[in-house]
Structure 1
Amino acid sequence: MNKLTDAIKHIIIINVILFIAPQLLKLDFTNMLALHFPKNENFGIWQYVTHMFMHGSFPHILFNMYGLWAFGTPLEQMWGKKKFVFFYFSAGLGAGIIYTLVNYYQFNHIYEQLINFGLSGKEIQNILDIGSYNDARIMLSNEKMIKFYSLYHTPAVGASGAVYGILVAFGLYFKDAKLALIFFPVPIAAKYFIPVMILGDLFFGMTKYSVGNIAHFAHIGGALIGFIIAYYWKQNHFKFN
């Protein structure tokens, strides 16, 4: 069994505290710490960091912390604490930024359509505030309007983006390690397993077939930044000491 390394231990402790404490104290830190859409009144620049320590459910934090431990441990042992922490936060920040950029593009696309229909900015904001509309000028499907509302109001939480960065780095350095999913318990080499997972996120992120409220483009963002950093370090014989 992998030994719990120093940085991973502290990251897990912070995540667990921020998951349990609000429930015990009956407090909700979502508006303050979760990553909101930039035009939302609850948005704060610090949320690009704090959202990585927030989780929406026990399975959510369990799988993320398991992934952090299982795939991050050999990386921290190889890179050392400081470099691992740099990598972890870089992947998490990249995940949040790319997730925001994709959401911003999707939001603005619908926003411009509403403007072209003749709605004013104030009228559009009113739709976002009350969550309903009754305007014959709006020639968009209910599904698209729900998407518009959701992009504005739904915050992102979780360490998944950073964990995806770790997963990609693990695949680069330990490409022949055998991995398996709970619902597909057949061991597959990391060099095949991880790209399939990322392609799955890309597919679900670009289609309507996603199950649940999953930030697929945060996963992709974390994987992309993680790949860039890990690939550069590996190709340039990064000094770990």
Structure 2
Amino acid sequence: MSYVTYDEFESARTPSAVYWLIGLCVAVYFVQATLVGDANMANWLGYAAGDLQSRSLWTLVTYMFVHGGLVHLLLNMWTLWLFGPRVERSWGASTFTWYYLWCGLGGWAFHAMFQPNAGILVGASAAILGVAVAYASRWPDDEVLFFGVVPMKVKWLVVFMALINITMTVIDSGSTGGTAYAAHFGGMLAGW
């Protein structure tokens, strides 16, 4: 049984892009929680259905740095911290950052196609799930503790997450709010 470890032959580079992304998300959340409020930050930086028509194109990227609450932020940052450093060490900071943004754009595209009326899109989940796909593609037999208890191979964890998000996209397709399952799956598909 193997657990997520860093191979000795991998580069000793510090995963700077992962730390910058985490820092940026935490900083945006700090401003959101202390100065401007959740609703204002979501309206300014989150993606809403009319943003393309109103030429608010920055929201295609900025939505990835706004979160729907502290738990949302903590889960996303923990998942990025779990999978991101090893992928970044393998690829380098620049490639990792572009890949992260690509997965986030894939999440936006699926959200716009399959849940266009689901409210304002916020959160880094699509990009981070794309990173999880990259990790599972490179180190499929590494194990993580599912729910902190059950050992599970990363490849099966990613397959499980994909199936959950596909199922919930279909079930939740008429919803006007809540979790952006289509964005999650879009980020995973873009990552694949």
Give TM class, smaller chain.
0.7 to 0.9
Structure 1 unmatched ranges of 5 or more: 105-150, 228-241
Residue number in structure 1 paired with 2:157? 193
Aligned to 2:183: 218
| Mapping for residues 9-158 of structure 1, pairs under 5 Å | 9-27=19-37, 28-38=40-50, 44-104=56-116, 151=117, 154-158=119-123
Write out per-residue CA displacement over residues 181-226 of structure 1, whole angstroms, 9 at most, x where no aligned residue: 22x721111122210111011111111599x811001010000010
Q: CA deviation at 1:164?
A: 0.7
Deviation per residue, 1:166-186 (Å, 9 max, x gap):
01111000100112322x721
- 1:40 Cα deviation (Å)? 8.9
Residues 9 and 208 (structure 1 numbering): CA distance in 2 closer, same or farther, change over 3 Å? closer
**Secondary structure in 2 aligned to 1:187?**
strand
Q: Please state whether the residue corresponding to 2:149 is helix, strand or coil.
A: strand
Using structure 1 for the length normalisation, give the TM-score.
0.68
Q: What are the superposed Cα offsets for residues 9-41 of structure 1, whole Å, 9 maximum, x if unpaired?
A: 111111111101132224422211001013798
Say how many residue pairs are matched.
Answer: 178
Supply the AA of the counterpart residue of 1:161: A
If the length of structure 2 is used for normalisation, what is the TM-score?
Answer: 0.84
Which structure is larger by alpha-carbon Rg, 1 or 2? Answer: 1
2 CA distance for matches of 1:186 and 1:42? 47
Runs of 4+ residues over 3 Å off in structure 1: 1-4, 39-43
RMSD of aligned residue pairs (Cα, Å): 2.4
Aligned residue type for 2:127:
A
> Alpha carbons of 1:101 and 1:17: their partners in 2 closer, same or farther (altered >3 Å)?
same
CA contact (8 A) 1:36 1:44 kept: no
C-alpha change, 1:161 and 1:178, in structure 2 (3 Å) is same
- Per-residue Cα deviation, 1:40-93 (whole angstroms, up to 9, x for no partner): 987722111000000011110001011111101100000001000010000001
Give ranges in structure 2 of 5+ residues lacking alignment.
Answer: 7-12
Secondary structure at 1:175 match in 2:
coil
Shift of 1:101: 1.3
Structure 1 residues 169, 39: CA separation in 2 closer, same or farther (over 3 Å shift)?
Answer: closer
